[in-house]
Structure 1
Amino acid sequence: MNDQRQRDQALNIGDSFIVQAPAGSGKTELITQRYLKLLSSADVPENILVMTFTNRAVDELKHRIISSLNRARLHPPEEPHKLKTFDLANKVLEQSSLKDWDLLNHPSRIKIITIDSLSSLIVSRYPSIDQLIPPQTMINTYEYEQIYQEAAENTLLLIEESEYQASISSVLLYLDNHVDRFYRLIVQMLSKREQWLPKLYIEGALDINLLEILAQELIVEYLEALRRTASGLLDKSFFNLLEVSTRHDVSKIKKLPGSTIEDLSDWQTISELLLTKSTGNWRKKIDANIGFPAELKEEKLIFKEILESFDSEVEFKKILNNLSNLPSAYFPESTSKSINDIAQVLKLSVAELKVIFKEKGLQDFSEVGMQAIHALDSRDEVSDIALLLDYQIKHLLVDEFQDTSYSQLSLIEKLIDSWQEGDGKSIFFVGDPMQSIYKFRESQVGIFLEVMKGGIGSLKIKSLALSANFRSNKSIVEQNNKIFSQIFPNQDNLLLGAIHYSESSPASQVEQIDAVTFYPFSVDQDSEEAEMVVSIIKKSISNNPNQEIAVLVRSRSHLNAITILLQESSINFEALKTEPLRSNLFTRDLLSLARAMLSLADRLAWLSILRAPWCGLKLEDLLVYSDSIDQTIFSQLIDADIVKDLSDDGALRSRHLFLATEEAIYSEGKFSFVERFSYALSQLCTEIELNEQEKSIRSQFLSLLNHCELNQSLDIKTIELMIKDLYAPTQPASVKLMTIHQAKGLEFDTVIIPGLGKKGKNDSLPLIQIQEFSNNNILLAPIKSSYEDSESKTYLYLQYLQKQQTHFELMRLLYVAMSRAKDKIHLLGSVSKTGRAVSGSLLSFLSNYFQQFIDDIPIQDAIIPVETSLPKFQRNKMLPALSSRVINDVIQSKNMPNNIDLIYQSVLGSTVHYFLEHCLFEPSFESIEVRFKEFGLPTKLIQSYSKAASLLLLNTKRDKDFEWLFKYRDSTEVEAEYSNASKTVIIDRLFIEDDTLWIIDFKTASPNDGESMSSFIGRQKHSHQKQIKIYQEVLDDFFKLPSKAALYCPAASQLIII
């Protein structure tokens, strides 16, 4: 392995490193080894902190480390890299024994957390006055927009106060008094406030003179680079040629312009002479428009020869083109006032948001991150970070460092602020700048380059680069090297986020014919492209049924046609957060039912549930209801004058809908909404009519309704907002559909990447563009006002920087997708009507490499519209509301199904679990009632449920097995959370006795009326055996001990051994 020296060096724990680890290079194994090496000589495990960015990465690292420790007690592995981990893990176990850590029984001492979790921990421990208020709750995703909107509205209301009237009025006028636009732009800015708020408080950020100085420095720096490039290309003969031009602005240029602000116009003139304005290519036509009329025939020929000599000068052409993207050297006076007014309004909106957070006891991740930085800034109040964390950090490891944002970097810098060279502390950053694809989360790949170049804080940091690829076969590695060495830029650029490509070397020598295959399509062939994807999947499964196949796309919408064809082909697939819950037809039916029950006057909702499969009314019958608008559709269902105009089938199905919803609607006030909804749904469709996905969606929807009702936010707007960010559940399968972002960090045997020819959506323009340069210099510009025709040159320059950063990130996104594959890559994409790859598409990067295939695509003269089939009209065969009871029978409330009882039973179980977890077996009745009130249990049930909980706890204490269950053991863990690669489990009680791992699961179930104890025990075993098996499978990865499991049922005083 040609990078073994670097890998060995990375385990020198006396030094700090930043390691570039490309895809497939064994990054996780390396950070695991570094962590184990540190642990083997640590005083306490808490001295070492590992940070990463996602919970999935945290789980993977924890699993890898704990598994390594467990395997260390077995026979040594044969593989050299695994043997290294094995030896390090053995040394950790020796240290654990020497220091009495007992790590395998106390894995919580292994500190691996997300950076967001660290921020939350710091904020929760920070001793500020604000913390005297109750702990704040993290707001749900669906609440973000509502909260930000409220802050925006409150900001506008401040216009009535004299202190703020001028600035708010000015901004509102700036936006042509468009209030909705004012709200929309403020909401957009608040959602990203951690990115711009600190910058607005940098000294001089709003000083127009300093902004001009920075803009001028940027222009001069650019002209210097242009002059260096042009000096070897534009010689004296070129400028002699310009002297004869009939245009004064051309003929006055006697020599190569300088690099001052005054020289900019001459450079722009030269650019106009050499390049066409429309395409930006070298000019082909020399005419009077650029000062060379027909009579200058000889000069025109010379000029043409000069231009032809520039054909290969790509960099020169690029620099000339980008002259038009430079900022303004001087800002108009009105800009200064606009900037200050907008900044004032933005600061006010943040203040209003803080007020809302405090009043409602809420916070978001941005707030937590900024508060954490503030806490670490307060070293006069908190002199030692250990006081905030309860432990002293001596070694910091950060995984996926390429995904760091500047605010997160600030947090890291403050964590190590007091560290000095030679004090025995170390930093270890590992990541791959070629896989930095989270710009939308404000990750800045330039940070990785900055740290590689200049270190961090006062610590010297060494750079290492890995090159071996253990994932892909030789053919894929070599193809990727060839492709991406052409695509990626030759040089790094911190400002633009440009990263050069670092080649990988294959660890495997296996070669694969057609390892990378490209399938080109014309613009009108979306359906053919989807069919080809399914064909590739079928062939791949046929060749190897056990392989994992991934279909990776840039956008979820690119999977729509593919999912339909896979379903039609009866191919099982796992769609990871790809189908929005709200786009699922069954979800739409549930939403319609909720709307209908919340408002009898909502005619569209009632017509929708009449048409839904559980009723299935035909169009001619639906028209009967839509024609009559004098009464609600619910009342029309039993109106004889309406029903007589229906077909026999329509009348029967209408009666079914009425009977299914009647009791649920008339029981308002007697039962909760979720009870009534659940009952109506059970009457509308039977269990047998629902597939597994629909059953999962039903449970998800009922939980959502229950949450809304408990939080007194039961309205259709809130329900739709909650559904907005949810995805339809899916079942595990070997064929996986996901976005490229979701696939990062994963690997598959075969990777299929369709939709390469499609563009992503454009970002909306922010109220103010802000870019931070070196030395805390800030350049900013406001969006154009309603009375301006176009954006300012500075705003466009900042927008150009954003577009360039997005352009380079798109290259890296393609690299991430193509580096997931072990054996085969299939690339599919369509070209535009002109036969070229669409600009801004992933295919635009690959088109040169696969040009010969693209040239063979037959291009249609006109786009043939693709026929899109509407969802097939479906009707359930069974109408349970008719079959379960006689028509006109009055439904008794005792016949209500027990769906809601399950929710309340789970609340009872959670309450009992809480007291058992804290070993409180005789709590006061009041404390039990408080717990039920916090869960939102209806008042009428609190007393009876509190009695039930009290009795269960008392039964526990009186049980013959009480002493054995709850006696003190060093190994005991309560509510213990463990994860393996695929599952996370939480165990009620866990302990080791006589070298046997005991898994105890508490259950509040009790025997049914007349049920014998033996039948009850049998029923419980049958119900929970599968779940217990999952517990044992997960725990087997952590505890290499024989295990036993038992259910403890205090209601029956039974310890049931499974």
Structure 2
Amino acid sequence: PEEIVAITFTRKAAAEMRERILDSLKSAESDPGGERRQSLRDRERWLIARDVLRRSDELGWRLTGNPARTRIQTVDSFCSRLVRQMPVLSRLGGQPEIVEDATELYRQAAENLLAHLEDGRDQAEKDPGGENWSDSIGILLEHLDNNLPRIRELIVVMLGKRDQWQEYVVGMQRAKEDPDLDLRKILEDNVASQIESVLEKARAAFPDDSIRGFVRALNVAMENLEISDSGLPLEDLPGTGVDCLSLWQLIASLCLTGGGTWRKTLNKNQGFPPGEPGRLHKERFLKLLEGFSANESLRELLEQTMALPEPRYSEEDWTVLEVLPVLLQLAYANLRMLFKERNQVDFAEISFGAFNALGGEDEPTDLALYLDHRIRHILVDEYQDISNGQYRLLDRLTAGWTELDGHSLFLVGDPMQSIYRFRDAEVGLFIKTWNEKRLGQMPVEPRRITVNFRSDAALVEWVNRAFLLIFPADSDSHMGAVGFTPAKAFQSREEDCGTILHPVGDDGHEADRVLEIISRIRESFPGDSVAILVRSRPHLREIIPLMVRSNTLFRAVEIEELNTDSMIQDLIALVRALHHEADRVAWLAVLRAPWCGLNLEDLLRLVGGNRHDTVWRCMTDSSLTATLSDDGRGRLERLCRVMQRAFELQGRMSLRRWVEGVWINLGGPATLKFGNDLVNAETFFDVLDEMDRGGDLRDRSVFYDRIGALYAGADVRADDTLQVMTIHKAKGLEFDHVILPGLSRRRRNPSGQLLLWSDTSDGLLVAPIKSPVQDSPAPIYEFIQNYERRRQDYEESRLLYVATTRARKQLHVMVSSGQPKPAKGSMLSKLWPVVESEYSGQAGEAGPDSADDGRDAPGMNDGTAGVALRRLDSEWSLPKPPLPVDWSPSFLLDETDQEGEFGVIKFKWAGQTIKHVGTIVHRCLQQMAAEGIERWDAARISGWRGYFRDSLFSVGVGEDSIEEAGELVRLALTATLEDPKGRWIMSNEHGEAKSEYALSGICQGNLVNIVIDRTFVDRNGTRWIVDYKTSRHESGDVDDFLDNQQERYRDQMERYAEIMSSFETRPIRLGLYFPLLKGWREWGAPEQ
């Protein structure tokens, strides 16, 4: 089975694929006759699974007992596996740590490059013939107005995209160094070819029967405009060479307005002055334009023509373009040095390493030859999202394969759902593979699947009707245009299902209508799932606050940025204040935060007249505090006591313990108001813990960036029946009802980047960023931007398609009534031809603007009339512990203590060796969970035998037992990988997953310390607490043994649940996992 490799792009997709396969095999194993297969789909799946099981039995694979033999992995883990096998050829050495967010490394590499500005000049003096890259930096600095911080950030962005530009930049460098090539001419010829391609299409789009009349009117207009040209008057449409560009742009300006719409009036500026002589020509020309109005292809091409540039770089742009490849390569070299120093890499570097490990097409490495024999079948899921680099990797893997040598390639994807260009997904590669019927040298046979099993027939029909108008007529691999393929409905048409339009007024009214729709759905379809899907998070700015105020519980999936939460902002201010007494803004924020809550009047008395002293000095000045109100003075005194004690403890404990202790003593937890606040605070302190360097912040700017890159957790009180997410996050999911707000909003224009490029059918287009002090436009840069904007526009159509096809029963489309036509660039503008007629009949239903209302948390009050100041009551103090606690050492219990009244188990039956085996197994399982179980296999575990021996020796296992003990560790870890239950426990797809999780709690008035081997929250919102047991049972009934073990550890596990329940209110299930036995026992924790 290892000859079959299934590759997908996310860990979640890989886990789901593995789960479905194993579930199908187990289901077929438990139902050998197929009696329980009712539907046709289930029956077909059962037949396939039965054949697989039969083959597994014939060859002794035991797939259901050894699921790790199924090679289902992400493309990143596949590349990582290749790199581990060839550390030298991959140029990465020993397996480095993979960093998911390498922005800190990119920024450091950019700073290292710019910090050595003068070094290049020193090097040039020593080696006059060498490359003076210091001058290259100087050229870029001058071009960007000496804005060093901006240059640094632009380089950071480019380093994050180096897998996209590396090939082009290297090619430009080689062409520049080749004396037989003129790089500038090559690139300018590419622009010229693209211009001619647009002009050819525009000429072909003119109706043949209109050309003669159009040319006559055109000659009249040019004569009136006194345009002189050797080719005038025209007898036909102009040619399509670059020399005819100005004539075509004149034609475009005569036909279209500045906004790109067909002209409905003409005047002297277009060559048709008022008066009788020109009236007839004007009427004829307007009649021609009226006839063109249905020709959308011609309009688009003329609009593109208006923006075409002259195919020549300015001298300044070319000078910058010459140095950018040098600087980008140097920045990458600095990044590689950082990778080596820190033994860290990002996913792009792993991909480069995997490609290098396979060698060249003519000189494959031993690994490539081995894989050619070892991997015989490759399946790629979501192939429409493949990138250029991944395509090249697949091409290299399948080089030499033929359809007759036993190899097979299976590519699955839906190009109409390709929506990840920002991750370098290139749908054109899917179109190319489909049209050419091959990937590299490997032939493929296209098969189209058109049945929609998800949605009601009414929804399928509406989507077919709508997207035939929205999608382009034909696919284009270079433009990323995908033609529409209608679907066939599998589900029948049901009552109350289909697409519903909702005319709305402003954003506030849209939010009201969304809430109203949710209420109606819950009344009519109780228990159904509902999703609110948006293109971008700001589109929820009105909706989420209204849902919060109305106590509507929902699960938000990566919606609210963590640093926008007011509680997190208060915590950031607290960290800043504790680290810097002179940080005036932070100290003022601490004084206004809910744990203190000084009103503005008291705040002004305290610090308003004193801008020279620090806020802390003002807080401790008795002459100033005496001027405060009694309430304000009491609040300030409590804050000062806590902060004074904090300064005394600074540097004497970990950073997390210090800051979290201050927050708790100030009453921070008592100010929490929402269901996810505690989760968010925990996330904040986790990041703080990671950034600890001897009790101080390792790098404050990195810490703020890390917090800014995270999202607030989901409300623990909410279930999955109402979810809020972006359309990108919803891909692959389905819901009974989908609501689409914010469709009338325009998409944001992309920010400029250092180097802009596009690989077109006519060759590479490339241009440097425009200078902020440059008065003249940057025509080639803007041309490439427009080209990429059209490609993005095609993807926007696909994004809308993904959104509308998530619904099973109902699709609710919010249509803004605030303007006669939707804004260009909005999703609603794409839907407009479909919904305009229906919308016109409902537009009067849009209601008035919504009103705002406030809500305070219990125990909070207003400090000043008219100002919503949330704060603790002035008499608040830390609550007393619920029970008196015995803090004496004899009562500081943990799970290694002797068996006593608290039910802690001592392994009386087990020798010291098996106890030490358990210690090492626990340690390795923690490592596996941290890295991700998909990165582990039996071969890697076997390679760790030396580590097992060393670790066992370090904990006291003798030489006579160490080999047997090491083998037990290997067997336990391998069994966990092979066991579906073990992989499920170790999976990182669960929420809030933690290993070796230490907690302290009060049990019967005593402080108890526990360490939970594994805990997580499953997709149903249930908290699992799992304990590993390395027990062996070599005689008797295993089930009886496991039942006895469950009873033996029941009290201990339920005590874990009791402590965990003091932190949250989720339902809890308990589990014992026995890796050496592949045994499992679970039960529900008693209600606390």
The answer to whether 1:209 aligns with 2:185 is yes
Residues 999 and 254 (structure 1 numbering): CA distance in 2 closer, same or farther, change over 3 Å? farther
Aligned to 2:833: 848
The answer to whether 1:743 aligns with 2:727 is no
Q: 1:597: how far off?
A: 1.6
**One-letter amino acid of the structure 2 residue matched with residue 516 of structure 1:** T
Aligned to 2:248: 267
Match of 1:504 among 487, 497, 506: 487
Aligned to 2:350: 368
**CA distance in structure 1 between the partners assigned to 2:972 and 2:1076 by the alignment:** 16
Contact 1:756 / 1:842 at 8 angstroms: preserved in 2?
yes
Q: 1:125: how far off?
A: 2.4
Residues 153 and 426 (structure 1 numbering): CA distance in 2 closer, same or farther, change over 3 Å? same
Instruction: Map 1:605-754; keep pairs closer than 5 Å.
Output: 605-627=586-608, 628-629=610-611, 631-685=613-667, 690=672, 692-710=675-693, 713-730=697-714, 731=716, 732-733=718-719, 734-754=721-741
Q: 1:1042: how far off?
A: 8.2
Q: 1:1021: how far off?
A: 7.2
RCO (CA 8 Å, sep 6+): is it higher in 1 or 2?
1
**One-letter amino acid of the structure 1 residue matched with residue 792 of structure 2:** T
Match of 1:807 among 793, 799, 824: 793
The answer to whether 1:309 aligns with 2:275 is no
**CA distance in structure 2 between the partners assigned to 1:536 and 1:278 by the alignment:** 36
Instruction: Map 1:546-625; keep pairs closer than 5 Å.
Output: 546-625=527-606
Match of 1:143 among 104, 117, 122: 104
**CA distance in structure 2 between the partners assigned to 1:724 and 1:106 by the alignment:** 42
Residues 531 and 190 (structure 1 numbering): CA distance in 2 closer, same or farther, change over 3 Å? same
Q: CA RMSD in A?
A: 4.5
Residues 236 and 527 (structure 1 numbering): CA distance in 2 closer, same or farther, change over 3 Å? closer
Q: 1:793: how far off?
A: 2.8
**CA distance in structure 2 between the partners assigned to 1:341 and 1:405 by the alignment:** 27
Match of 2:764 among 774, 778, 785: 778
The answer to whether 1:104 aligns with 2:85 is no
Residues 122 and 747 (structure 1 numbering): CA distance in 2 closer, same or farther, change over 3 Å? same
**CA distance in structure 2 between the partners assigned to 1:859 and 1:1045 by the alignment:** 58
Q: 1:502: how far off?
A: 0.9
**One-letter amino acid of the structure 2 residue matched with residue 397 of structure 1:** L
- Which stretches in structure 1 are left out of the alignment for 5+ residues? 1-44, 886-893, 903-911, 936-947, 1004-1011, 1048-1058
**One-letter amino acid of the structure 2 residue matched with residue 474 of structure 1:** A
The answer to whether 1:188 aligns with 2:157 is yes
Residues 180 and 595 (structure 1 numbering): CA distance in 2 closer, same or farther, change over 3 Å? closer
**CA distance in structure 2 between the partners assigned to 1:1001 and 1:692 by the alignment:** 39
Contact 2:535 / 2:726 at 8 angstroms: preserved in 1?
yes
**CA distance in structure 1 between the partners assigned to 2:42 and 2:593 by the alignment:** 57
Contact 2:815 / 2:839 at 8 angstroms: preserved in 1?
no
Aligned to 1:41: none
Contact 2:595 / 2:871 at 8 angstroms: preserved in 1?
yes
Aligned to 1:543: 524
Q: 1:620: how far off?
A: 2.4
**CA distance in structure 2 between the partners assigned to 1:468 and 1:230 by the alignment:** 38
Aligned to 2:820: 835
Residues 391 and 655 (structure 1 numbering): CA distance in 2 closer, same or farther, change over 3 Å? farther
Contact 1:577 / 1:727 at 8 angstroms: preserved in 2?
yes
The answer to whether 1:94 aligns with 2:78 is no
The DSSP-based 3-state class of the residue aligned with 2:684 is: helix
The DSSP-based 3-state class of the residue aligned with 1:201 is: helix
Aligned to 1:457: 440
- Which stretches in structure 2 are left out of the alignment for 5+ residues? 125-131, 177-182, 855-865, 882-886, 896-906, 932-950, 994-1015, 1017-1025
Q: 1:895: how far off?
A: 12
**CA distance in structure 1 between the partners assigned to 2:278 and 2:791 by the alignment:** 44
The DSSP-based 3-state class of the residue aligned with 1:418 is: coil
Residues 379 and 158 (structure 1 numbering): CA distance in 2 closer, same or farther, change over 3 Å? farther
Aligned to 1:875: 871
Q: 1:852: how far off?
A: 3.8
Q: Percent identity?
A: 28
Q: Deviations over 1:364-417 (max 9, x none)?
A: 222222222222234687534467879811111111111111111111111112
Contact 2:210 / 2:288 at 8 angstroms: preserved in 1?
no
Aligned length in residues? 948
**CA distance in structure 1 between the partners assigned to 2:378 and 2:1040 by the alignment:** 33
Contact 1:659 / 1:881 at 8 angstroms: preserved in 2?
no
Match of 2:197 among 217, 221, 226: 221
Residues 308 and 123 (structure 1 numbering): CA distance in 2 closer, same or farther, change over 3 Å? same
Aligned to 1:820: 806
Q: 1:49: how far off?
A: 0.7
**CA distance in structure 2 between the partners assigned to 1:611 and 1:441 by the alignment:** 41
The DSSP-based 3-state class of the residue aligned with 2:541 is: helix
**CA distance in structure 2 between the partners assigned to 1:795 and 1:296 by the alignment:** 40
**CA distance in structure 1 between the partners assigned to 2:250 and 2:117 by the alignment:** 46
**One-letter amino acid of the structure 2 residue matched with residue 550 of structure 1:** A
**CA distance in structure 1 between the partners assigned to 2:1049 and 2:1042 by the alignment:** 22
**CA distance in structure 1 between the partners assigned to 2:308 and 2:508 by the alignment:** 43
Contact 1:656 / 1:882 at 8 angstroms: preserved in 2?
no
Q: Deviations over 1:785-818 (max 9, x none)?
A: 4563244332222111110011111111111111
Q: 1:739: how far off?
A: 0.6
Q: 1:881: how far off?
A: 5.1
TM-score, normalised by the number of residues in structure 1: 0.80
**CA distance in structure 2 between the partners assigned to 1:573 and 1:809 by the alignment:** 29
**One-letter amino acid of the structure 2 residue matched with residue 192 of structure 1:** K
The DSSP-based 3-state class of the residue aligned with 1:421 is: coil
Aligned to 1:35: none
The DSSP-based 3-state class of the residue aligned with 1:848 is: helix
Contact 2:455 / 2:491 at 8 angstroms: preserved in 1?
yes
Q: Deviations over 1:225-277 (max 9, x none)?
A: 33333360444344345555333448522223233333333333333333334
The DSSP-based 3-state class of the residue aligned with 2:29 is: coil
Aligned to 1:253: 234
**CA distance in structure 2 between the partners assigned to 1:595 and 1:494 by the alignment:** 52
**One-letter amino acid of the structure 2 residue matched with residue 736 of structure 1:** Q
Residues 715 and 636 (structure 1 numbering): CA distance in 2 closer, same or farther, change over 3 Å? farther
Aligned to 1:531: 512
The DSSP-based 3-state class of the residue aligned with 1:850 is: helix
Match of 1:973 among 976, 992, 997: 976
The DSSP-based 3-state class of the residue aligned with 1:150 is: helix
**CA distance in structure 1 between the partners assigned to 2:638 and 2:214 by the alignment:** 88
Moved more, 647-656 or 807-816: 647-656
Aligned to 1:945: none
Aligned to 1:20: none
Aligned to 1:153: 114
Residues 487 and 632 (structure 1 numbering): CA distance in 2 closer, same or farther, change over 3 Å? same
**CA distance in structure 1 between the partners assigned to 2:250 and 2:552 by the alignment:** 61
Match of 2:134 among 162, 165, 168: 165
Aligned to 2:263: 282
